[in-house]
Chains A and B, each alone.
Chain A
Amino acid sequence: MENVLIEKVLTRNIGPDQTPTDMAAYEANGGYRALHKVMAGMTPNDCLEVVKASNLRGRGGAGFPTGMKWSFVPMGEKCTPGHKYLVTNADEMEPGTFKDRLLMECDPHQLIEGMILAAYTIEADRSYIFIRGEYVVAIERLEQALVDCYKKGYLGENILGSGYDLEMHVHTSAGRYICGEETALINALEGKRANPRAKPPFPQVSGLWGRPTIVNNVETLCNIPHIIDRGAEWFQSLGIGEDSGTKMFGASGHVKNPGCWELPMGTPIREILEQHAGGMTDGRKLKGFLPGGGSTDFLVEEHLDLPMDYGSIGAAGSRMGTGTMIILDDKTCPVGMVLNLIRFFAHESCGFCTPCREGLPWTRQVLEDIEAGRGRKEDLDTLVRQVKYIGSMGNTHCALAPGAMEPLQSALKYFQSDFEAHVEQGCCPYAADMKAQDITTVQGERA
């Protein structure tokens, strides 16, 4: 059941068949109108004020207010001479996250227009799309879109006669989840190993090549043309609760209709799962879910009526993260699911600091033992201790390790009896169900 009243903004050019939107189609539907408006007479500060007033918050996971982030960039005379950079974070490797791919594959110009406007606002003259190498279709379409933009005079020197110059490049990454962390991303762009940098200095002041740099998520930047075009008040009115705008929400796992939908910020979780995702597949019940990717805390059935916005999900002990939910059902082992996530994080640790590099493999080992039926009762206490040490912000150099602990700490809280059952029975109580799925359901239920 589609709600006809929902206004599509980010996906207004994205139909069910997901045909890519080219320059002509993009412009025919109001594309680059904001760019013309700005180049015809808005100052960078005018743009900044609109974005600030819109209350747009970063869609990369942390929800930091975008206007405030941009306001830390030294401007005009206050900035030492040299380049400034605007970088799109298109690394999208957070497990269970699949929204930026759709936005880039189906409407590359929307991102590019957002980037030009953002770059203009911070007076950047160089910009990069840092995109994971596996996104070959998105890379191809973005590169074509860049060529079209240079031809039209939307990029390059003296954009639309305004005197403003901007270069834009696609940088394809060579892998590793840690590249999504913004200071690690900057090191990767400099051709180095992607270890995160110490903050301060913050990238807004000293980022790429020591110059002021803004890193924003794809979805964040896709909002900018609409905010500039239609104003801060309009953008605020799109959200149902305190937060502004729309959001790309998604659901994966054993739901009838897994997918990604643009809905008002603050849409109740139940509506996303039941109306849009179609509810659980037959024979399975909801056991829990990660609201926004692999490094967010589990929520459970009692949270279904919460609105998906930063404050509400935060108050419930989790994070909205990327907004793409991973659904755990009653036939899938929660210990196994957490083990899968910890394996991922242990593998993706950049190795820079000890709690993460040594701690995560230890956690993985403990979980492997429990899942395989070799666990002892003390192991559960060990896990609690590990959560405390590895998960405390400040014990590690970046947020990867604390993020890794979020699904574990909440699983210990909500699914404690499952952990205990593994230890008491000396095996995984879900083994039979999981084996059955390997043989049948993959073919059966997912057309």
Chain B
Amino acid sequence: MAEISLNNINKVYGDDFHAIHDLSFDIRDGEFMVFVGPSGCGKSTALRMVAGLETITSGTLTVGGRVVNEVDPKDRDVAMVFQSYALYPHKSVRENIAFPLLMAKVPKPEIDRRVEEAAEILELTAHLDRKPGKLSGGQRQRVAMGRAIVRQPAAFLMDEPLSNLDAKLRVQMRAEIASLQRRLGVTTIYVTHDQVEAMTMGDRVAVMKAGRLQQVDTPQALYNRPDNVFVAAFIGSPSMNLYEAELDGRTLTLGTNSFDIPDAVFEKRPSLAGAQKRPVIVGIRPEHMDDADVRPASAQIRARVTLVEALGAESMVHLAIDAPWVDAGDPDAVGEIGDGKAAVARFSPKSGVAAGDTATVAIEAEELHFFDPETRLSIW
């Protein structure tokens, strides 16, 4: 068990492709750290550098206080779970799990004991003598986990280990991996592009975009205090709605609508105070909007309803808001919201709005997020 620390890590592929820019943060001993970000942002590259499978172009990487930049993967004492599971197809489940111990020259009886133990934990005992090819996806995933946990390594490194499973199994394994990690207390880096996985599993989450770290914090803090537009939109599902707006004194103008911002917001974000016709990007989470007929609020806007998705416990209402829509730069987010430009609101199921109506929407104005249109950073 060990803490892992990255200091100004850079990765350049070939001569000119800069995949990772100045990545720096510490992962505490026993912590479950999630790397999340859209496809191609460099999560796998970062993880593979920690594993030693990819060279580090510049910067220092320490595991348990030891600089490991030049240390061979086999001597780094880390275990890795691959997206493809990378099970040895010609070896039985038992031999697969035992392999790292065999390489470490652990005595045979000890290997047997530890393999049995890992199999017990992962409910693989009945399958120990089968080949991976005969197992289901979920079982293969467990074997890959087993191969990692038998070693009692300094760290677990997992690269999208659940992405080949169906949705239901994924939810189940998500909980199992998280609880297994807590039980074993081994420092873990977990790569995913699924922000729900990131939020539910991680002690802390590092959000990356285009090779740069955007923010690293607890899931709750990322949700409540995103540092920039990208993190704001990436964390939370459905995504935060982002529009260009104008703040004049305490009046926010959003397209043809305007309403007053409560004092609580100015206390939380003092630099917003005294704004004069200041352009801002305003962020509204879907859960902070509701049908004004059901739950009125002091801040209200009028918007046309384009689509209603009734989910029973809530209704996802798509709204055409007549202010300029802001692209947060998350390639995965577009499309998730239909035409990409509609706002999504979580209405109470009691709401009677239908597509084509013009609804009065109540906004919890104290929960609004504000960003600078130039820097795209949060205004605090």
Q: Do A and B bind each other?
A: no
Please report B residues at the A interface, Cβ cutoff 8 Å.
none
Please report A residues at the B interface, Cβ cutoff 8 Å.
none
